[in-house]
């Protein structure tokens, strides 16, 4: 992909993306797009963004060679991009800092957001506190139960957490309700947390997350003198994956691997394999690969990792799979929990359960590769939020 330049002016990534929304939302999205396109190359905007990345988020994050994990696997070298060390404990703040600056430019005083695992919600609550804004964060009832610690953190930061009990009471339903309220609250800004949603959100979120891959490219060259053989990241909506992958899309010698939640197993109906099992369809105002039932309606997803429990996926990952640039694999709940424990005990690093999906596959991959080969995993978040759930419900 020498001339990769996605999306087009309509926000389309090949067959995917676009803007499928009511007219009243089209006007507001066009306003956001116009403001973002004016700001993204503005020197003063970039100066403030980079200042906050360095002095508030804590960038650049470390690229850590996991020697004991590598030795345990007995194959390729495994490096971890330590997004878990960012302020708030995940990659999500990269995006919310940028979008908060955009919202402020638009004169908005209130942010509306959705969250699954709670990491995006915490990141939104953090920037609203930083910039003196208000925010409503919509979260599924099931996720509120599983992610109590992040709910406490959001409330402590001054956010209003709105419980969503419709549907499966998960991330999809939280987005449904958040979007409806965004339409009615004209003075608000909707701060989406992944590379999903109607244009321009997939582009905006990717652009704020691509700093991850930019850093990895320079860091790995300094440490190994070469580009990595593989990049591995979990995929729910796809923000941490696109953050890592984007800088390397044109480097055809670097293999990109997205790890989806296989839940209770690929052969069951309890998984979130949108890229592997989904079909082109429209969800939340954009077109992507999405789980569908026999009637062609949006299907139910499942993952023990709340941040991966979404029936769709971003349009850009969908496009990269369609063009065979991105390989996709599945990891089950039990495999992710094992990796969660393995990394904790071998390296003293407790990963988010979402990130543990990527760790699990990287461990299997390392065993098949030569010792001089290099794998970089995006450790997208820390696992404080998951410890209680893992010990009480998931370790058998």
The catalytic residue positions are 92, 114, 380
Please state whether the peptide bond connecting residue 60 to the residue before it is cis, i.e. omega within 30 degrees of 0: yes
Q: Which residues contact 32 (CB under 8 A, 6 or more apart)?
A: 102, 106, 189, 200, 204
**Residue among 303, 302, 279 nearest 291 (CA):** 279
> Do you know the residue count of the chain?
396
Cis peptide before 18 (omega within 30 of 0): no
Nearest CA to 179 out of 170, 191, 163, 165 is that of 191
Contact 137, 124 (CB under 8 A): yes
Residue 264 buriedness (CB in 10 A; 0-12 / 13-18 / 19+): middle
CA 243, CA 324: separation in Å to the nearest integer? 18
**Rounded to whole angstroms, how far apart are CA atoms 261 and 237?**
11
Write the burial class of residue 323 (CB in 10 Å: 0-12 exposed, 13-18 middle, 19+ buried). middle
Q: Strand 134-140 relative to strand 110-115: parallel, antiparallel, unpaired?
A: parallel
b/e per residue, 325-355, with b = 16+ CB within 10 A? bbebbbbbbbbbbbbbebbbebbebbbbbbb
H/E stretch holding 361: helix 353-368
Range 306-321 burial, b when 16+ CB lie within 10 A, else e: bbbbbbbbbbbbbbbb
Question: Among 67, 61, 52, which Cα is nearest to 85's?
Answer: 61
Identify the three-state secondary structure at position 297.
Answer: coil
């Amino acid at each position: 992909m020498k001339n990769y330049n996605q999306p087009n002016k309509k926000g389309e990534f090949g067959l995917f993306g676009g803007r499928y929304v009511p007219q009243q939302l089209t006007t507001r999205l066009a306003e956001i797009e116009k403001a973002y396109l004016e700001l993204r190359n503005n020197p003063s905007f970039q100066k403030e963004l980079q200042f906050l990345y360095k002095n508030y988020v804590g960038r650049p994050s470390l690229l850590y060679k996991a020697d004991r994990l590598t030795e345990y696997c007995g194959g390729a070298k495994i490096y971890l991009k330590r997004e878990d060390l960012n302020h708030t404990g995940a990659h999500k703040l990269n995006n919310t800092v940028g979008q908060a600056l955009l919202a402020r430019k638009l004169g908005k005083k209130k942010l509306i957001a959705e969250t699954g695992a709670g990491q995006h919600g915490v990141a939104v609550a953090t920037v609203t506190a930083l910039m003196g804004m208000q925010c409503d964060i919509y979260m599924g009832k099931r996720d509120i139960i599983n992610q109590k610690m992040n709910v406490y953190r959001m409330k402590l930061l001054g956010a209003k957490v709105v419980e969503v009990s419709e549907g499966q009471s998960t991330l999809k339903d939280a987005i449904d309700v958040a979007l409806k309220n965004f339409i009615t609250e004209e003075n608000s800004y909707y701060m989406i947390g992944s590379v999903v949603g109607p244009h321009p959100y997939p582009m905006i979120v990717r652009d704020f997350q691509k700093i991850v891959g930019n850093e990895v490219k320079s860091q790995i060259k300094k440490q190994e003198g070469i580009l990595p053989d593989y990049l591995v990241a979990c995929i729910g909506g796809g923000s941490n994956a696109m953050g890592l992958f984007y800088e390397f899309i044109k480097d055809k010698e670097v293999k990109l691997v997205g790890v989806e939640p296989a839940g209770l197993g690929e052969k069951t109906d309890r998984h979130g394999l949108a890229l592997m099992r989904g079909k082109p369809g429209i969800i939340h105002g954009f077109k992507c690969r999405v789980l569908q039932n026999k009637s062609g309606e949006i299907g139910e997803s499942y993952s023990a990792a709340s941040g991966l429990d979404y029936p769709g996926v971003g349009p850009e990952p969908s496009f990269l799979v369609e063009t065979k640039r991105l390989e996709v694999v599945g990891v089950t709940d039990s495999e992710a929990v094992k990796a969660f424990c393995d990394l904790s005990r071998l390296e003293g690093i407790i990963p988010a359960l979402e990130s543990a999906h990527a760790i699990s596959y990287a461990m299997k991959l390392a065993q098949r590769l030569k010792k001089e080969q290099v794998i970089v995993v995006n450790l997208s978040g820390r696992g404080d939020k998951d410890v209680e759930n893992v010990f009480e419900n998931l370790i058998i």
